[in-house]
Amino acid sequence: MRRIAADGETFSWDRNVAEATARGWWFPEPPGRTVVAVDDDDTVVGTAVSGPNHGGPAAHVATASFMVDPDFHGGGVGRALGEHVLDQAQADGYRAMQFNAVVETNTRAVGLWRSLGFEVLATVPEAFHHPVDGYVGLHIMYRRL
């Protein structure tokens, strides 16, 4: 997590986020859920957090965030996590899933979510300051469950 946050290319987190802060975000109270993906040696290679995107009368739409160890990019970890989280959200009774801030230059993530049935509802213009590409958009992505 520290490496992904420090990299500053995909997460809307402080690049030097404190461990306690990140733990707070990644381990929400129920009905929030946290999962990890492990390889054959039980090494954690990715993780996801999910839960309601808003509360009360809007709590039937889920959201989720995903991190994959950069050393394991391209190995299907994100897809496995995504499929699991979608299945679990459907089982939990959510009616849709919404991602609030997918960096438009994160083409690996955007392509993965599209392949799993998400569409871009809107792109918030220049909402993310990428260390290489400058101001780029944040996609709001959505799919029914």
What are the DSSP E strand ranges found in 39-118? 44-52, 61-68, 96-103
- Nearest-CA neighbor of 120 among 134, 133, 131, 106? 106
DSSP state of 28: P
Kindly state whether residue 96 participates in binding a second copy, applying the rule CB under 8 A.
Answer: yes
* Binding characters for a second copy, 46-75, by CB under 8 A (x = yes): -------xxxxxxxxx--------------
Kindly indicate which of the ranges 3-11, 40-48, 84-92, 108-116 contains the residues binding a second copy, using the contact rule CB under 8 A: 3-11
Q: Which one of residues 88, 90, 100, 105 is an interface residue with a second copy (CB under 8 A)?
A: 100
Which CB atom, from 81 or from 128, has the smaller least distance to a second copy?
128
Q: Residue 74 — left, alpha, or beta (φ > 0 → left; ψ -120 to 50 → alpha)?
A: left
Q: Which one of residues 2, 3, 14, 111 is an interface residue with a second copy (CB under 8 A)?
A: 14
Closest contact distance (angstroms) between CB of 34 and a second copy is 19
| Cα–Cα distances in angstroms (integers) from residue 46 to residues 10, 116, 119, 131, 144, in the given order | 15, 18, 23, 23, 24
- Under the rule (CB under 8 A), what is the footprint of a second copy? 5, 8, 11-15, 17, 53-61, 95-96, 98, 100-101, 121-131, 138, 140, 142
